[in-house]
Structure 1
Amino acid sequence: MTVKSKGITRELAGARRLERQFLADPAPAATPVADVVAAMRGAHAQVMGAAELSVGIRATGVTRADVRAALWEERSLIKTYGPRGTVHLLDSRELRLWSAALTAVRTGADPFPPGVRLTGEQTGQVLAAIGEALTGVCLTVDELGEAIVARTGPWAGERVMPAFQELWPRWRTVLHLAGQSGAACFGPNRGRRTTYTRPPLCTPLPQEEALRLLVRRHLHAYGPATPRHFAKWLAASPAWAIELFATLAAGGEIEEVVFEGTRAWVAAGDTEFPQGPVRGVRLLPYFDAYGIAAQPRELLFPGRARERALARGQAGNYPLLLIDGVVAGVWHQRRRGRRLTVTVEPLGPLTARRERELAEQAERVAAALEAGAGAELVIGEVTAGAHA
Structure 2
Amino acid sequence: MGGRDVEKVILVRYSEIGLKGKNRSFFEKRLIDNIIKIAEAPRVNKRYGRLVIRLENKNENDILPKLNYVFGIQNVSVAYSVPHDFEQIKEISLELAREMFENGARTFKVETKKSFKKFPMGSYKISAEVGSYILKNIPGISVDVHNPEFKIGIEIKEVETFIFSNKISMSGGLPVGVAGKGLLLLSGGIDSPVAGWYMLKRGVDVNSITFLSPPYTSEKSVRKILDLAQKLSMYSPDIFKCWIVPFTEVQTYIKNNAPDEYSLILQRRSMMRIANKLARKIKAKALITGENLGQVASQTLTNLHSIEDASKLPVLRPLIGFDKIEIIDKAKEIGTYDISILPYIDSCVAFAPKRPATKSSLKEIEKIEQSLLELEELESIVYEKIEKYTFIHGMLQNKSEG
Q: Classify the TM-score, shorter chain.
A: under 0.3
* TM-score normalized by the length of structure 1: 0.27
Larger Rg: 2
Q: Which has the higher contact order (CA 8 A, sep 6+)?
A: 1
* TM-score normalized by the length of structure 2: 0.27
